[in-house]
Structure 1
C-alpha cells in the first residue's frame, strides 16, 4: 500500500519552532511515559494538575509562527520606531558597544546562558569579570567596596536610602533629597519611602547641611548638568549624623573628583554609558559603592577573593549569609536577580579602553559640550549651568526643542522655558555644528570654537588628581586580538547552557533560542531613549502592547504592568498595588502578610519592604499549605489581613489541591492573594493564576518566557492584576504606562524606566509568537513529563521528598539527601561539587528544604541529556555506597575532594584511595566532552574572614 503524501498543513506543522524548543521527540516522550507508568501526556497531566483548576479550553492565542515569519513580523514593528540622535540625558546616553564585546559577550550563549555563580568552581570566568566591574567602580567612585551591580539607578538610590537608615545613628526618620536628582529617581524614592515610614525632604544641595535627617541623596552632576564640589555639603551632613549617598555618572568620574574624595559614604548610578545600548530603558547594571565598614549593610551581591583546597586564588560570592533567601524578612534587600551580563559588558568596556581610552572618550564628550556652549553663548543664548561635564542647561524653550527634533535631534524640554542638551559618546563634531545651526540660525566655525574651548577650563578645581584603573587588567587588553582571547579565556572557565543542562529548581533554565535573541541587538530597539517622544516609539509600544495582551491571556488577568525589571521587583510592585488598593478603601491598616513555609525565598523580604508584617503559615508533612493553620491565622488577623503570598505550584514541587480553598479563605477575611510567578512554567496552557483565584502575580520572563539568566541577570518581572487592582499598578513621572495618557496619577514608579528592561522584551515576544497557544501548552506538559521522568528514575536512589496525591511531581522535584548525610557524612554540597566532575551544574542546593537538592529539568532537555544527568546522579549514589561499605574513607573520597582539576591529574603526590581516572572521568562519556573546573573546592569561610572584594595585586596571578 502506498503511503499517502502529507498535506501542506502537516508539512508546515513539522517545520514549526515547537519541535526545536521541546527536548524529547514524540518517540522519546512515549518511552518516558512508559517508564513512569502513564499512558499519555493527557493522562500524566490528569494525575498531576487538580481537575478543579484546569482551564476549560485551550489558550486563545495566535497560531505558531515559523522562525523567519516571527522575525519578519517583529521587524515590521521595529521599523515603526523612529531613531533620532538622543541628547536627552537624564541617565541615558548614546554609547558605542565595542564590537568585540557585542559579538563575544552580549551575543554569546557562553556568557548569556550561564546562571548566578552559586557554584563558584565552575563560574570563575564571570566571577573575574564581575571582580573587574567592582574594581572599576571602586576606582572611579573613590570608595573602598563595590557590589556586583544592582537593577537600575533609581532603585539603587532607593537601596541607598534604606541602607542609610540601617547605618545611621540618627533617630530622625527624614531623608534629604537634592532637587537636582533625576525625576525618575525621586519617583521611585517616594514609593519606597512611604512603606518604610520615611519623610522625604527636598531642597538644594547647599541647604542640605541645615537639615536634621538620617541620610541624604545628592546628584553629581545634577539633573541640569551643573557640577559643584559637594565636599562642604557632605561634611555638614555627616557632622549631623547623616549618611550621604551621591548619585553620579561613571563617565563623568573619569575626569571629575570622586564622591569618595568628597567624603561620601555611598556612591551609585548607572553603568549604561559604558557600552550598553539605551534599549528604551534597559537592562543596565547599576553600580553601588560604599565604605568597607558598611559591607554587611550593603544590598546586592558581592564578589570576593578566597582560596581553593590547594591554596590557590579562587573567587566566589562573599558574605552569602546576607542573602534574602536565608535572612528572609530580616534581609537587607529582596534583590535576587541583578544585572550581571550588563555589569560584565560595562567592566569589559573599561578593560578594552583602559584608563587612557576612557579619558579620551570622556575628554571628547566634554570638549563637544564646551564647543556647543561657546557657540550658543556667541549667539546670545543664555546658559544656566556654569560648570558642566556633558549636559548644558540653556534658556531656550519648547519651540527650540521642536525645531531640533525636526532636524533629527531629541533634546530635553524642562517645561519652564529651558531645555537640556546632553552630549554622548556617539555625538560628533558635525552633530554639534548642525545643532548650532538649528538653535542659532547661524553656521558654526568649529575650529575656532574648539580653540576657545581648549583655553576655557569650566571644571577648574573639580578634576580628579588621583590615578584610575591602574590594575594590569585595565592596561593589557587594548587590541582586539588580546581582548578576544581574554574573553575566551574567561568563558572557558564557566559552565553555561551551551555545555550541558542546568537543572536548577525554581529557576527554569530552558532554551534561549537564537531567533529569540537576534532582535535584542537591532538598533530600532537598542537605540531608543526611554524618554523620547512617544510617537518615535510606536513600534516598541505596539510590541509591548501585544506581549502584554498575550500575558493577560496566559495568566487570566485583566491588566499587565511591564515596569518591574526583576522577579523581586515584580513581587514588590504587586504588594504595592495591594497596599494602595486597601488604602483607597480606608483600610491602610491591612498590613499582615501570610507566607507559607513553602513559598519562594524572596517573599518575606519583599513583604518587609512593602511595610508588611510577615506571619508564617505552616506546611503539612506532604509539603502542602496546612489549611487549618491558614484558617486559624486568617481569623486571628482578619481585621488587618493584607494578603497571602503563595507560590504555585509550591516550591516543594507539588500542585496543591486545596489552592482554591486557600484563596477563598484569604478573600473571606478581606485579604488579597499574591501568587509568586516563579513556577509559572508549570501552569501555562493548563491553568492560570487569575483562573485559580489570585488577584496579582508576577511573571518571571527570565524563567517561563525564555529571557536568558545572563550569569545572574538581566531579568524581567511584569505583574498581572485583576481589574480592581489595575488602577493601582506602577506608573511613571516622565512617561505614562497606563491608558488614556495617565501620567503618575498618584501611583509612583517602582523602577527607573517606564517599561523596565524593555529591550529584552522582544525575546519573550518571539517565544510566544513562535510557540503559539498550542506550543506553550506542549511546553508545560513536557516540562512536567521531564520532571516526573527524572523523579521516577532516581526514586530508588534518592527519595523524592514531596509528591501529589497521585504520586506525581509538578515541574520540579526535591531529592532528599538527609538519609545519606546521616549514614555517611556526605552532604548535598558534596554531591553538587561532584556533579561538576561529570560535566553538570548542580541542581538547587538546600532550598527550600535544608539537606536536599531540587531538580527542574525544563521542557527543553532531550531524553538523552536527561539520561546522562540521571546516570551521573546514580553513579554518584554508587560512589556513596562505597563509602557506606567502608571501601572509601568518609573523609577521603571523590565526593569530599570534588571538584577535581587538571592539577589533580598531574599531582605527583597523589595518594588517594581512588584513581585519577575515577576522579576526573567517572563515566565513559565524560571524556568525550570534559569540562574542567578551573579551581578545586573553594574555602567559603576563609573568604568571609579575609574579605577582599577588589582585583588582587598582579603577583597574586602568578
Structure 2
C-alpha cells in the first residue's frame, strides 16, 4: 500500500477519520523517516520470517451509517424482557444526568489510568467516593477502587484470606447458597493454587475443624437472609478469615458485614445505576477490615499532599505491584473498572443515603407483596420467611411451567429446579410486573384471575436491621438536584486530562480514537438491558455479534478459536496459561510447570503464571533489548523435561520487532513447551503478521488497545484469549457449568455490553483500513523517534534502526549529568499541555512513547516540539543557568494559583512556568494541584473522603 493509494479527505471512508495523518502529512513523515512508502517502511521494520502477505478474510469496510444499521438489526434480535432472574444482576435506572455526562462523555471514557495524579484529580475524587461508599455500606475500614466483577472479587478475597490468615489448611469453605457463577470462578482460581473449595450447606452442615477461609453470601443466592454471626465467630475460633459477599443495596437496611465480624466483603456495584449489559462491564468491590489494607489487590486511591501542602489524591500502595514484585505479586490484576465505578459512585452521590434507602425499601416491599400474593396460589409455598429482594417459591413439579408461562407474558424468572422458582425484584419492578408473575403462577395452578398485590412490610428480620449511619460525608448529601449533579460532574471532568483535550502518548497502553459511532450502541436498551442468564431465544443478536467478533479476531490473529470471556488482559493471560496447563495434563505431562518469561516482560505475565500454578524462570535480554537466545537455550536445557511454556510480548516490550521470534518459538516447541504471545502490542501487527501463523499457540488480546474500547480512566477492558486448534477445548467455559470447562469471569461472554465497540471498529475499518492503521502507527512512532533522536537517545531499535509502534527515550544520561529526572520531564509535559508517556517501564529512567495512528501531524509535531523545548530547559539546568533544585522542571507542574500568586522567588519568569514555548494560551490546561508527595501518602494512608475542612486553605 503506497501513499498514492491513500485518498484525500472527502468525508467518505471511516478510516480517513480514524487515521490522523492525511496523504500530504504522511508523505512528509515518510521523508523524515527516510522511506518512500509505508509498505517500504514495514518491509524494512518487520522481519521477513513473520511477514504475512495475504488478504484478511473480513467484510469490506462499511460506512458509519451502514454499521449503525447493522448493529440496530442485531439489537432488534435481542428481546428486552422484564428481568426477575436476579443472581447478582438487577435491573436499574441509570439517572440520565449520569448516563449522558459520564458513560457517554469522552471527558470520562477517554481518560487513562490515573498514574499521573496531578492531571487526574477528578476521576480520583470519584473513585475515592466509590471507596467511601463501599466502606460505609459494608462497615469495613478500607475498600479498593473496584474489581472486575463479583466472581473475580470473591476469588481475590479467597487468596487474600489464604495469605493473611494463620491457618495452614488448604480448605476454603463456601456456603452452598453462593451465586453459582461465583462458585465457578472460585473453583477455577483455586485448583492451580492447591486450594480445596469445599461447598457446604451451612444451614445443615457444620464447617470442618480446619479451614483457612469462609465465604458467605448475604443475602443468599436463594434470597434467604440469615444471621451469619455464629458462623463468623466459629471461623475466627478456627483461625479462618471470613468473606461476606454482600448486596450493597440490601446493606442500606441490613446489618453490614463489618458489624458481624467479617474480615473481607466482596461483591458488585452493578445495581447502582450500571446496566446489566448481558453480564458486564460492572465494577466489583473488595473491602477489608483494619490491618488488611496493605494486602488489598488492585488499585487503591489515597489522599496525600502536593508541593504546596494542599490535600491531593493519588493511587497508593499496591498500584502496579506486578511490575515491582512480578512472580511474587499476590494478584495479576493490573486494572479496575473505573468508568463503571464512577457511575456507581455517582449513583450514590445523586440519590444520597435517604434515596438509596428508599429504593431498597421499595424493592423489599415489592418482594414481600409478591410473596403475599403467591401464598394465595394453590400449591405454592414460600421457602424462606426472611428475604430482601428475592422470593423462592416451591411449586412441586410445576416450576418449569411457571417459568415458561411468565416468559410468554414478557417476564423472565429463574428456574431453580423442577420444584422451585426464584423471583427477584429490583428498583425497576412495578406492581404490573408483580401482577404478571402472579397471573403466571395462577394460570399454571388453574386459578382464574390473580390476587391483587398488597404492600406489606418487608420480610427482613428485625434482628438484622441496620442501625448504623452511612454515607455521612457531605458529598453524598449535596448533589441531589440535577443542576447540582450536572455541575459536580462537569467540575470533576474539568480537572482531568483525557483524549478529548489532546494526545496521550503512552507506550504499552495504546490511547487512540474511540469513535462516537463505535460507542453509541452501548447505551441502546437492547444491548444494555439484557440479563446474562436470559434464555437463548432472547439473545440471538448478542450471540451473533459475539460469534462474528470471535471469528474476526481469529482471522486477524491467525488462530483457530477465540473466547471473549476474559474481562481484562490479566484474565486473558490467566485463561491462556490455564489452557496450556490443561493441555499438558491431558497428554499425561502434568509435571510440565515451568514458564519462561523474558526479563523485559509486562509484570502481569509473571503474576499470571504463578496463579496458573507455574514456576517462573526468567530469560535475560541482550544489549539490544531482544530475548537473549543463548540464555534461552540454557534455560530450556535446564528445564527441558518440565518446560510448560514461554510468555513473550511481540513486538517486544521494548517496542522492537525482534528478528529471533520464529527461532524462539521453534526452540520452545522442540522442548515440548507451548508459546504464549502477549497481544498487548497487536496494534503493530494487524494486517502484516499473525501470531498464530508465526509460531504462537495462544495469545490474549487487549480490545481496549488495538480495537478501540476506551480506557475509561482505567477500565473497562476486555482481554479475549485466542488459541490454535489443539488448545481450543480448554478455552473458558460457561459459568453455569453447562459445558464443564473452567470459568474465568462471572458471565459467559464477560463484558459483553461493550463488545459492540470492537465489532463496529472492525466493520468500519475493513481489511484495508486495519492494515493502514498499523502502517501509520508504526510510521508515527518512527517519525517521533527520528525527530527526537538527536535530543534524547532512543534506547532500542530493530532492523535499520527502526522501532515498532512505540519508542523508548533514554533520560538516564541526562539525569546523571543534570539531576533532572524522568519524573521532572513527565510533570513538565503537563505545563506544555500533554499527558506524559509511560514512565520507567520497561526500563527505569526512560519514557516510552506511542503516538498511535489517530494523532495527526500537527499534534505529533506539537509533542516533538515540546520535548525538544524541554531538552533545552534541561540544558539550562546542566549549564547552571537554573539551579538544580529550583527550575521549571523541578517545580512542574505549575498551577494557576502558583503562577498568579503574590510571591514569586524562582529564577525563571512566570511566563515560562505557565506558558512554555508553543502553548496556546486560549486552550491552556491548568493542573489543579502541584506535584504530589507519594511517599507521604503511603506513610499516612487515607483511603476515604477527607472532611471538607481539609481543603479550607
Does residue 596 of structure 2 align to residue 594 of structure 1? Answer: yes
Cα distance in 2 for residues equivalent to 1:471 and 1:446: 41
- TM-superposed CA distance for 1:157, in Å, is 0.6
Change (3 A) 1:759 1:577: same
Residue 269 of structure 2 contacts residue 285 of structure 2 at CA under 8 Å; is this kept in 1?
Answer: yes
Cα distance in 2 for residues equivalent to 1:689 and 1:243: 44
* 1:427 alignment counterpart: 429
Residue 377 of structure 2 contacts residue 441 of structure 2 at CA under 8 Å; is this kept in 1?
Answer: no
* 1:356 alignment counterpart: 354
* 1:814 alignment counterpart: 808
Does residue 909 of structure 2 align to residue 915 of structure 1? Answer: yes
Does residue 465 of structure 2 align to residue 463 of structure 1? Answer: yes
Cα distance in 2 for residues equivalent to 1:182 and 1:442: 35
Residue 591 of structure 1 contacts residue 612 of structure 1 at CA under 8 Å; is this kept in 2?
Answer: yes
Per-residue deviation, residues 521-548 of structure 1 (Å, max 9, x unmatched): 0111111100010111000000111111
Per-residue deviation, residues 65-94 of structure 1 (Å, max 9, x unmatched): 010111101111111111110100010011
* 2:881 alignment counterpart: 887
Does residue 385 of structure 2 align to residue 383 of structure 1? Answer: no
- TM-superposed CA distance for 1:205, in Å, is 2.9
Residue 636 of structure 2 contacts residue 671 of structure 2 at CA under 8 Å; is this kept in 1?
Answer: yes
- TM-superposed CA distance for 1:216, in Å, is 1.0
- TM-superposed CA distance for 1:953, in Å, is 1.4
- TM-superposed CA distance for 1:12, in Å, is 11
* 2:698 alignment counterpart: 696
The correspondence for 2:634, drawn from 632, 637, 646, is 632
Does residue 799 of structure 2 align to residue 805 of structure 1? Answer: yes
The correspondence for 1:281, drawn from 255, 260, 279, is 279
The correspondence for 1:778, drawn from 772, 781, 784, is 772
Does residue 185 of structure 2 align to residue 191 of structure 1? Answer: no
* 2:99 alignment counterpart: 102
- TM-superposed CA distance for 1:442, in Å, is 4.7
Residue 8 of structure 2 contacts residue 23 of structure 2 at CA under 8 Å; is this kept in 1?
Answer: no
Unaligned runs of 5+ residues in structure 2 are none
Does residue 135 of structure 2 align to residue 131 of structure 1? Answer: no
* 2:677 alignment counterpart: 675
Secondary structure, counterpart of 1:420 in structure 2: strand
- TM-superposed CA distance for 1:60, in Å, is 1.8
- TM-superposed CA distance for 1:275, in Å, is 0.3
The correspondence for 1:744, drawn from 715, 739, 743, is 739
* 1:486 alignment counterpart: 488
Residue 159 of structure 1 contacts residue 299 of structure 1 at CA under 8 Å; is this kept in 2?
Answer: yes
Secondary structure, counterpart of 1:810 in structure 2: coil
- TM-superposed CA distance for 1:748, in Å, is 1.1
- TM-superposed CA distance for 1:908, in Å, is 1.5
Does residue 951 of structure 2 align to residue 952 of structure 1? Answer: no
The correspondence for 1:49, drawn from 18, 31, 46, is 46
* 2:157 alignment counterpart: 160
Residue 87 of structure 1 contacts residue 422 of structure 1 at CA under 8 Å; is this kept in 2?
Answer: yes
Cα distance in 2 for residues equivalent to 1:211 and 1:861: 62
- TM-superposed CA distance for 1:864, in Å, is 0.3
Secondary structure, counterpart of 2:890 in structure 1: helix
* 1:229 alignment counterpart: 227
Does residue 836 of structure 2 align to residue 842 of structure 1? Answer: yes
**Mapping of 1:557-568 within 5 angstroms?**
557-568=559-570
Secondary structure, counterpart of 1:894 in structure 2: coil
Per-residue deviation, residues 12-57 of structure 1 (Å, max 9, x unmatched): 9860101000000010000000011111111110111011111121
- TM-superposed CA distance for 1:445, in Å, is 5.2
- TM-superposed CA distance for 1:209, in Å, is 4.6
The correspondence for 2:503, drawn from 501, 504, 511, is 501
Cα distance in 2 for residues equivalent to 1:399 and 1:173: 43
- TM-superposed CA distance for 1:897, in Å, is 0.5
Does residue 327 of structure 2 align to residue 329 of structure 1? Answer: yes
The correspondence for 1:762, drawn from 746, 756, 760, is 756
Residue 663 of structure 1 contacts residue 694 of structure 1 at CA under 8 Å; is this kept in 2?
Answer: yes
Does residue 289 of structure 2 align to residue 291 of structure 1? Answer: yes
Cα distance in 1 for residues equivalent to 2:136 and 2:342: 16
* 2:56 alignment counterpart: 59
**Mapping of 1:291-690 within 5 angstroms?**
291-320=289-318, 323-380=321-378, 381-396=380-395, 397-440=399-442, 441-444=447-450, 446=452, 449-450=454-455, 453-454=456-457, 458-690=460-692
Residue 838 of structure 1 contacts residue 926 of structure 1 at CA under 8 Å; is this kept in 2?
Answer: no
Change (3 A) 1:382 1:783: same
- TM-superposed CA distance for 1:927, in Å, is 1.4
Cα distance in 2 for residues equivalent to 1:37 and 1:719: 37
Cα distance in 1 for residues equivalent to 2:251 and 2:130: 15
Residue 296 of structure 1 contacts residue 322 of structure 1 at CA under 8 Å; is this kept in 2?
Answer: no
* 1:936 alignment counterpart: 930
- TM-superposed CA distance for 1:446, in Å, is 4.0
Residue 429 of structure 1 contacts residue 446 of structure 1 at CA under 8 Å; is this kept in 2?
Answer: no
Residue 225 of structure 1 contacts residue 388 of structure 1 at CA under 8 Å; is this kept in 2?
Answer: yes
Change (3 A) 1:12 1:843: closer
Residue 173 of structure 2 contacts residue 207 of structure 2 at CA under 8 Å; is this kept in 1?
Answer: no
Secondary structure, counterpart of 2:67 in structure 1: helix
- TM-superposed CA distance for 1:463, in Å, is 1.1
Residue 8 of structure 2 contacts residue 22 of structure 2 at CA under 8 Å; is this kept in 1?
Answer: no
- TM-superposed CA distance for 1:386, in Å, is 1.4
Cα distance in 2 for residues equivalent to 1:680 and 1:12: 27
The correspondence for 2:68, drawn from 68, 71, 76, is 71
- TM-superposed CA distance for 1:744, in Å, is 2.7
The correspondence for 2:861, drawn from 862, 867, 875, is 867
Unaligned runs of 5+ residues in structure 1 are 1-5, 736-742
* 1:708 alignment counterpart: 710
- TM-superposed CA distance for 1:433, in Å, is 1.6
TM-score scaled to structure 1, two decimals?
0.97
Cα distance in 1 for residues equivalent to 2:735 and 2:207: 28
Secondary structure, counterpart of 2:260 in structure 1: coil
- TM-superposed CA distance for 1:378, in Å, is 2.0
Per-residue deviation, residues 917-943 of structure 1 (Å, max 9, x unmatched): 100100243313100000000000110
Q: How many residues align?
A: 940
Secondary structure, counterpart of 1:272 in structure 2: coil
Per-residue deviation, residues 768-822 of structure 1 (Å, max 9, x unmatched): 0000000000000000000000000000000000000211000000000000110
Residue 310 of structure 2 contacts residue 951 of structure 2 at CA under 8 Å; is this kept in 1?
Answer: no
Per-residue deviation, residues 161-190 of structure 1 (Å, max 9, x unmatched): 100011010111111011011111111111
Residue 93 of structure 1 contacts residue 424 of structure 1 at CA under 8 Å; is this kept in 2?
Answer: yes
Does residue 854 of structure 2 align to residue 857 of structure 1? Answer: no
TM-score scaled to structure 2, two decimals?
0.97
Cα distance in 1 for residues equivalent to 2:819 and 2:424: 61
Per-residue deviation, residues 677-724 of structure 1 (Å, max 9, x unmatched): 110000000001101110000010000000000000000000110000
Residue 205 of structure 1 contacts residue 218 of structure 1 at CA under 8 Å; is this kept in 2?
Answer: no
Residue 436 of structure 1 contacts residue 442 of structure 1 at CA under 8 Å; is this kept in 2?
Answer: no
- TM-superposed CA distance for 1:444, in Å, is 4.5
* 1:264 alignment counterpart: 262
